Each structure stands twice: as C-alpha cells, then as structure tokens.
Amino acid sequence: MIKLFNLDLHISVIKDIQYIISDIYPNKFNITNWSMSGHSWVFNENSMSPEIINSNTWKDINLNMINDFVDKYKDFLKTFDGFIVTHTPVFCLLYETFNKPIILINSTRYEQPFSWNNNFQMWDYLNIKLKELYDKKIIIAVSNNKADAKYLKIGTGIDSIIIPSLCLYTNALYSPINNKFIVNNNFNIQENEYIIDKNNYLKEKYSWNELYSYKGIIHIPYEISTMSIFEQYSANIPLFFPSKEYLYKLIKQGHILQSNYNKHFNNNNYYYNLNECLNDNNWLDFWINNADYYDENNMKYIIYFDDNVDLNYLVKNTDTNTLSKKMKEHNIIRKNYVYNSWKDIFDKVFFNKHIF
C-alpha cells in the first residue's frame, strides 16, 4: 500500500483525485487528507485544525511557520511515500525536506495568499522554490484548467500537464424531474415560468440530486474554473453560460462580481512577466479567453446566451434531453483522457521506481 498525504484548504480537488486513483488502482493507494475547509461536512467529515498552519493562520504563512510545522509533524510526515498538494501550492514547501514525490494539482492562483497580503518577498521565494523542486523532478505539476496552467507557466516557468477535474464523487446524474431551469448564481435574472432562482427553491445544504433534478442550470460565473461546474458537466446537465462578449460586458459594467485578478499588479515584482495576466488592460481578456466553460475541446455542448432575451429564447427551445445525451457521449471521452493521464503519471512516479 502506497501512502500519500494531503493538507488542504478545500474539499473537492483532493476528493476528485482520491476517487480516480481508487478506481484505477483498487487497494494500492491510501491518501490521508487533512482538510481544513469549513465545507468538510459535504463529505460527512470533520474539518482538521493542525497546529501552526490551519484555517485561521495560513494566510500569514512564512518560512518560520513552514519550518515549525515540519519540526512538529516530521515524524508523522516521513511515514508517507509522497504528497499531494491541491489548494494551495505554497504547501509544497512543507514537504521539500523529505525528498519524496509531490503531486501538485494547480487549481487556482498558485501564489495565494501572497497576492492577498502583499507579501511579495514570499511570492518571490515561492516562485524560486517551486521551479527548483520541479527542475529536480520532485514536483510533478498538473493543472486542472488552461488559465491556471498558463498563469503558473508565466509566473514560475513550470510546464504543468492539463488534466481537467471530473468530480465523479457526487455519484449523481442528470434526472430532470423539475421542468424548470435554475439560476446557480446570485445575479438578477428575472424569474418566469421557465427560470427560477436557486436561492428561492433550495435549502442551504441541498444535495447534488436535488440540484440535478432541474431541466438545466444557468450560470453567471464569478470564476474561470470552479469544481461545481466540473461536477455538473460530468453529470450531463445542460449548462447555460453568457457568451464571452456578454460576460465581458457584465464585468466591465460592474453588474457582476468577478475575481479581481489584477488587484496587486502595480506592486508586483513580476510586473513585466505577468503583464499578460494582471495588467488593467489585459487581465479580463486573458482569463475569459482561457475559462473552462469556453473550452469546447473539454466542455462541448454548453449553450451560450447574449442577453436575457436570448436566454429566455434558448431555455424555451433547447432540446435538453438530446443535449444531455451528447454530453454523456463526450464525457466518456473526457473520462478516458483523465484516467489515462493520471495512470501514466502514477505508473511512472510510483511503479517504475523513478521520478516522472
């Protein structure tokens, strides 16, 4: 049994890889997950609160905290054959001293929390150490979306393998009992005989099956990649998104809240390197053009609308059952690619006796 360890701030990325690896290699891997997320209840688990680095302290992480954490838990951590890092990549630095494989799954801005707390010294240090561990073939870098793969490359020089998340852990599929479309985000789309607001119809801790019982899901996205979108796509649910032009317009006009990728641009030591991603004139084009829901190779058959009138027309006239069947066929291709990609990595890292 190969033992891997994960310290995490979220719940879904690690659950996705746990599900996939257990499916590919039954009874060959044991992944210990210390999730510090307040959403651990989703999987009927308790949130972990380690000493030194936990949900209350991680945003202030520095070298002293990293060293203290390693000193505190080194006897425990050295019992593992390798490590998985999801959110956030700074946790790779916790495992450097053990000289064992680190599977980095890059799912959102790799430099957090340093872009939040203006700790550019640690951001610089993180860039250097991640590239150093990557060059030594200690880190095996994977990104679950194109945007963060490019951002990681521009910021650190690391080439990551793009393997989308599947999120099959929900064990739920499209089952349209309710003949209405549900809006998944807090945005002012007027309810009518076809469209309802999720917040008005689902209780706070609703199940995946409840959400997937609607005819389709309408998104006004706040991020370029989210695990809930992966979950819904893999469940073959018809998804409706604003077109690139409409989303761009909504953000520029301040109608929706979008992650502010350019927040610390003028203070960043990597001003010129990250110009493509963070400059006031560039950032919106970069992130929207690389968003998951506009990647038609990975997520085919998403429906795009240009305004609310167009949306109302589309929900009235889209054959959602046929659309879902097409998604189901494409999801077979997606699953094969994801499984084969992960098997290739784990075979090379853990069964061929050398680092990938």
In this structure, what CATH number is given to the domain that contains residue 139?
A: 3.40.50
Does any domain span residue 101? yes
188 and 239 share a domain? yes
161 and 226 share a domain? no
- For residue 356, the model assigns a pLDDT of 43
Of 147, 34, 39, nearest in space to 94 by CA: 34
Q: Which of 75-79, 166-170, 198-202, 238-242 has the lowest mean pLDDT?
A: 198-202
What φ, ψ does residue 179 adopt, rounded to 5°? -90, 40
143 and 183 share a domain? no
Measuring CA to CA, how many Å separate 275 from each of 56, 123, 155, 280, 281?
Answer: 32, 16, 10, 9, 9
- What is the distance between the alpha carbons of residues 66 and 86, in angstroms, rounded to a whole number? 17
122 and 6 share a domain? yes
139 and 178 share a domain? no
What φ, ψ does residue 160 adopt, rounded to 5°? -105, 150
Q: Give 248-303 pLDDT, tens digit per residue.
A: 999 888 777 655 555 555 555 554 567 777 777 778 888 999 999 999 999 999 99
88 and 111 share a domain? yes
- What is the distance between the alpha carbons of residues 38 and 25, in angstroms, rounded to a whole number? 29
Mean pLDDT computed over 130-156? 96
Does any domain span residue 268? yes
Does any domain span residue 342? yes
Domains contained in the chain, number? 2
Highest-pLDDT range among 29-33, 38-42, 115-119: 29-33
110 and 219 share a domain? no
- For residue 342, the model assigns a pLDDT of 98
Q: Considering the entire predicted model, what is its pTM?
A: 0.93
pLDDT at 355 over 50: no
211 and 311 share a domain? yes
User: Strands 139-143 and 161-162, how do they pair?
Assistant: parallel
pLDDT at 85 over 60: yes
Mean pLDDT computed over 93-116? 94
DSSP 349: I
Question: Quick one: CA dihedral 112, 115, 117, 119, positive or negative?
Answer: positive
pLDDT at 353 over 60: no
- For residue 272, the model assigns a pLDDT of 55
- What is the distance between the alpha carbons of residues 274 and 270, in angstroms, rounded to a whole number? 6
- For residue 115, the model assigns a pLDDT of 82
Alpha-helical (H) ranges within the chain are 12-24, 63-77, 120-135, 146-156, 198-201, 208-211, 227-234, 244-252, 275-278, 283-289, 308-317, 320-346
26 and 117 share a domain? yes
275 and 305 share a domain? yes
226 and 104 share a domain? no
Q: In terms of residue numbers, what domain contains 222?
A: 168-329
Does any domain span residue 356? no
Mean pLDDT computed over 312-320? 97
- For residue 333, the model assigns a pLDDT of 98
With a pLDDT cut of 90, the percent of the chain lying above it is 77
125 and 35 share a domain? yes
Neighbour tally for 327: CB within 10 Å: 23
